[in-house]
Amino acid sequence: MEPRGETVVIALGGNAILQPGQRGTAEEQRANIAQTAGAIVSLIEMGHRVVVTHGNGPQVGNILIQNEEGADQVPAMPLDICGAQSQGLIGYMIQQALRNELLSRGRDPRVVSLVTQVVVDPADPAFDNPTKPVGPFYPAARAEALAAERGWVMREVRAGQWRRVVPSPDPIRIVERDEILALVESGVVVIASGGGGIPVTEGPGGVLRGVEAVVDKDLAGQRLAADIGADTFAIFTDVDRVALAFGTPEQRFLDRMTVEEAKAYLEAGHFPPGSMGPKVTAVVRFLEGGGRRAVIASVRRAADALAGRAGTLVTRD
């Protein structure tokens, strides 16, 4: 395992930005990100070239609530634009925190956050079966009215509470791949593809159009890592390691696993779709596509994880 000089794509879980039980104030998010920035800069000090991606669930959810509450005063924006807003606000906070941390350690402070688009296939089966809940909860009568007025697909997610559900298509490619590569090769720390990127379809002549969908952030992180030829794909989440039979008396943590073992565990149902499933699927895709190694770990153990002392290491064989 080569300890220095890798290009590493870091996928930050939501807890790196907003902790459970917090309201989501700017002050709370800044404080969380400042701690995360310290862990990321430690990786840069190890000699790695770093690209950061991140989740945006609570932030884009708040934007959608603001949309709904203010709709009688200002026009509500579609989901792709709300996603772009969340990329900007989270990217700004991470960018500033990383710059400040780099400066405090006497390091090159160049950091850029890039509003990133991700091409999806309009024929993806996900568009026929929306599953991803977004936005506020509604009572049944309001949900029925929104379905009729706006053509939204609404689903009852709790007794008497309904939410809009949107497609979650597979990411095909990162539109700004070449720009990200150029920045990384010039020594800039890049923040890209936040929240899974802004899903767009590509028409004749390369014309792009935003679509009302949500791309899974871990799968988009894998697509980003593959597109820029990253050596390592690191998913930093709220657990120290991957576990089999999580939450049961048979729970067993894994220090490492191969691609074939990961696929077998997925097939056996150890990694549910709503939690660890997309993360393990993403690292399997990354490694099968030619990536060198992948790590799933806690962000507070980031440096140890890349040094092989923490987290779950996933390898091709």
Q: Pairing mode, if any, of strands 161-166 and 132-138?
A: antiparallel
Active site residue 263: no
Of 14, 194, 195, 221, which one is the catalytic site residue?
14
| Catalytic, out of 196, 217, 291, 311 | 217
**Cα dist. 167→27, 53, 153 in Å?**
32, 21, 10
C-alpha–C-alpha distance, residues 218 and 224, integer Å: 10
Structure tokens that stand for 223 in this block = 């697509």
Question: Could you confirm whether 132 is annotated as catalytic?
Answer: yes
pLDDT at 57: 87
Calpha distance 261→277 (Å, rounded): 14
**Interval 184-218: pLDDT, tens:** 999 999 999 999 999 999 999 999 999 999 999 99
SS3 30: helix
Q: Do residues 92 and 17 lie in contact, with contact meaning Cβ atoms separated by under 8 Å?
A: no
Mean pLDDT, the chain, rounded, equals 94
Options 55, 67, 132, 311, the catalytic residue:
132
For residues 142 and 244, give the distance between their C-alpha atoms in angstroms, rounded to a whole number.
Answer: 41
Both tokens of 60, joined, read: 């884009």
Q: How confident is the model at residue 13 (pLDDT cuts 50, 70, 90)?
A: confident
Of the residues 15, 32, 56, 67, which is catalytic?
A: 15
pLDDT digit string, tens, across residues 55-86: 998 899 999 999 989 989 999 999 999 999 99
Note the pLDDT tens digit of each residue in 159-182: 999 999 999 999 999 999 999 999
CA 218 – CA 229 distance, rounded (Å): 16
Token readout for 111 is 């950091």
Q: Please report how many Cα atoms fall inside a 13 Å half-sphere around the Cα of residue 19, on the Cβ side.
A: 11
Residue 187 region by backbone torsions, left for phi larger than 0, else alpha for psi between -120 and 50, else beta:
left
User: Across the chain, how many H-helices and E-strands are there?
Assistant: 9, 17
In this predicted structure, the answer to whether residue 4 has a pLDDT above a threshold of 60 is no
Q: Catalytic annotation on 14?
A: yes
Amino acid 300: pLDDT: 87
Q: State the pLDDT at residue 71.
A: 87
Q: Specify the residue for token string 């609404």.
A: 154
- Full set of structural domains in the chain with CATH: 7-121+170-315 (3.40.1160.10), 130-166 (no CATH)
What average pLDDT does this structure show over 122-130? 97
> Which whole number is the average pLDDT over 216-231?
97
Output the CA–CA distances (angstroms, integers) from residue 233 to 83, 295, 302, in the order listed: 23, 6, 12
